[in-house]
Amino acid sequence: MSNEPKLTVIPFGPQHPVLPEPVQFQFYVDEEKIVDVLPNIGYIHRGIERAAELNDYRRNLYLCERICGICNIIHGQTYAGLIEKMTDTEIPIRAKYLRTIWAEIARLQSHLLWIGLFAEAVGFESLFMKVWRDREIVLELTEATNGHRIHMGTTVIGGVTKDMDEALIRRYQKDMDKLKKEMDDWAHVFRKDPAFLSKTVNKGVLPKKDAVHSGAVGPVIRASGIPQDMRNNGYEAYGELDFEPVVYDNCDVQGRVLVRLDECYQSVDLIKKALNQLPEGPIAVKNEKFPDGETIYRTEQPRGEVFYYAKGNNTIHLERVRIRTPTLPNIPPLLGMLVGHDVADIPAIVHSIDPCMSCTERITDIKEVA
């Protein structure tokens, strides 16, 4: 199709104002309509998996936390969970609850970041400023917890490093109420504003069947009516918090906005619920064994399912580490969503999957130059 002479090729990225990170799409367009899309990833490959094989398995925790800035808390918890599964370490119940609370804090700040960026991508700059100002509440909580706005760094293999005292718990509860009030201020814009809806409704349609067949994960598949969420498996403390995934049947960009918006409210509720039933006890156990055998571990990140595989050989090093982050399985559905839309809709649709390229790049393909 791409060889037909009348089609025009429009390169989008790797540097583009709407993209926070480098990824390239080549759009084959007929007048204004998109006919075909070719993605090109591999601009920020960092060799994380190889580094994880060369490192001591305990130091890998800090490496995995730095795969992605936004999901650093959940990356750390997933790696710690993987090693705990390999070494049969049962972490204390209080540590499980604390991890759940901080994972939801991470989801909250990621979704608020995305909502702000999305508002900017559709040309709603004042809303972007407002959402990011409210995101500061969450970032200040992260800083108050362990002294860093983004990299919380509370996870260790066998538990957590930091306990929450009464004052911090009270601050969390107060700030969650404050955040909920602030979100009510702008949430209606995403649900009702006609200018906003004209950019999102019936754009980037991904039918239920295609969502399953192309292997979408996270809010993308939940906006197509499928309640697929790793938190359903009840890892950490999710099993005790009566978790129900947020599902919408819209199948379009608006559905993805609503899923993330409702997940913000859900995260606030989950944090408050977990704080209310926070059990007493120790926060960490010592991990004595070396990892051995093959294991997989999956958790739900703000963008979808993250998959960790590791193979140990009873030494301090891991033989193989494989990490699949949620943006990679969301790229094939994205290509289907874009076809048939106008060029002006590209930013909103590309942004609707919340692409995080630094997470994604695990493979690099060096092309031969003739």
Partner 1 sequence: MPSFLGNIIENLFGKPATVKYPFEKPEPVPGTRGELNFNMAKCDQCQDCERTCPSAAITVYPEEKRIEWNSFQCIYCHACVRACMHEAIEPLINVEAPDYKKRVKSFEA
**What residue ranges bind partner 1 (CB under 8 A)?**
55, 58-59, 61-63, 66, 124, 126-127, 129-130, 133, 136, 140, 143-144, 146-148, 151, 153, 161, 185-186, 188-189, 192-193, 195
Q: Which is nearer to partner 1, 75 or 273 (CB)?
A: 75
C-beta of 63: minimal distance to partner 1 in Å? 7
Please report, for residues 38, 111, 133, 216, 309, the alpha-carbon distance to residue 353 in angstroms, rounded to integers and kept in the order given: 16, 12, 23, 10, 24
**For residues 150 and 205, which CB has a smaller minimum distance to partner 1 in the complex?**
150
For residues 94-114, b (16+ Cβ closer than 10 Å) or e, as one string?
Answer: bbbbbbbbbbbbbbbbbbbbb
Count of beta carbons in the 10 Å neighbourhood of residue 273: 18
Closest distance to partner 1 from the beta carbon of 180 (Å):
17
CB of 50 to partner 1, least distance (A): 16
Quick one: 150 or 335, whose CB is closer to partner 1?
Answer: 150
Shortest Å, Cβ 358 to partner 1: 16
Pairing of strands 318-324, 292-301: unpaired
Kindly state the smallest distance separating residue 196's Cβ from partner 1, in Å.
Answer: 8
Q: What's the closest the beta carbon of residue 56 comes to partner 1, in angstroms?
A: 8
CB 46 within 8 A of CB 22: no
Measure the CA–CA gap between 353 and 370, rounded to whole angstroms: 35
Around Cβ 242, how many Cβ atoms within 10 Å? 8
In the complex with partner 1, the residue whose CB is nearer, 123 or 279, is: 123
Residue 175 CB, nearest approach to partner 1 (Å): 14
Query: For 266-270, which contacts have Cβ atoms below 8 Å and span 24 or more sequence positions?
Result: 267/104, 267/105, 267/107, 267/108, 267/111, 268/108, 268/176, 268/179, 268/180, 268/183, 270/100, 270/104, 270/241, 270/243
Nearest to 246 by CA among 111, 103, 350, 130: 111
Nearer residue to partner 1 within complex by CB, 167 or 370: 167
Cβ closer to partner 1: 92 or 304? 92
Smallest distance, partner 1 to C-beta of residue 155, A: 11
User: Which is closer to partner 1, CB of 45 or CB of 130?
Assistant: 130
> Length of the chain in residues, anyone?
370
Question: Which residues are CB-neighbours of 244 under 8 A, at least 6 positions away?
Answer: none
- Whether 249 and 227 have beta carbons less than 8 Å apart is answered as no
Strands (E), the chain: 8-12, 24-30, 33-40, 155-156, 159-160, 292-301, 304-313, 318-324
User: Which CB sits closer to partner 1, 148 or 208?
Assistant: 148
CB of 265 to partner 1, least distance (A): 19
Tell me the C-alpha distance between 67 and 205, whole Å: 30
Nearer to partner 1, 49 or 269 (CB): 49
